[in-house]
Amino acid sequence: MRFFEDLQVGQRRELGSYTFTAEEIIRFAQQFDPQRFHLDEEEGRNSLFGGLAASGWHVGSVCMKLIVADNQRLAELARSRGETIPVGGPSPGFRELRWLEPVLAGDTISFCSEIDSLRTSASRPHWGILQARNTGTNQRGDLVFSVLASAFVPTRNNG
């Protein structure tokens, strides 16, 4: 996480990659999305996905996990330089989420975030709102996931 003043449209961050194992795909699906193609290899092969496919909500949640980890790395850097550490706010939502290709067991997805727009919050003077295009690309270079997500970001005079 950085302060609102330090952000610019077009800034891009590589968030790192994540390998979806069959075990994790099934565990997430059992809890939240137990459709047959998310639970069973054979059923997945016979579906439009062509294999055991992660729930789209699992893919989105992993993207969030890598965003938080990236923010923690930035906070650690700021701490090591003796700077004030910004604490991020919640998100009002997202738009244009696309599950473009299935994420199958064993796939490694690299996530990336690029700032799409920035505006100050009308109702909350110490906050800005960023909109970022977050994407996931598999090991073959196919774009599999894309979302335009918003979040509150603190300004330097916050709190």
Q: Minimal distance in Å, beta carbon 15 to other proteins?
A: 13
Size of the site for other proteins (CB under 8 A): 37
Stretch that binds other proteins, among 5-13, 74-82, 97-105, 131-139 (CB under 8 A): 97-105
Which DSSP category does 84 fall into?
Answer: P
Interface with other proteins, residue 18, by CB under 8 A: no
- Binding flags for other proteins, 51-90, as an x/- string (CB under 8 A): --x-xxx--xxx-xx--x------------------xxxx
Q: What are the tokens at 108?
A: 């490694």
User: CB within 8 A of 70, min separation 6: which ones?
Assistant: 13, 15, 16, 113
CA R_g for the chain: 18
Nearer to other proteins, 8 or 154 (CB): 154
Using alpha carbons, select from 54, 42, 74, 80 the residue that is nearest to residue 153: 74
Alpha carbons 82 and 20: distance in angstroms, whole number: 37
Interface with other proteins, residue 46, by CB under 8 A: no
Q: Considering only residues 112-141, where is the footprint of other proteins by CB under 8 A?
A: 124, 127
User: Is there a contact between 146 and 129 (Cβ–Cβ < 8 Å)?
Assistant: no
List interacting residues with other proteins (CB under 8 A): 28, 31-35, 37, 47-49, 53, 55-57, 60-62, 64-65, 68, 87-99, 124, 127, 147, 152
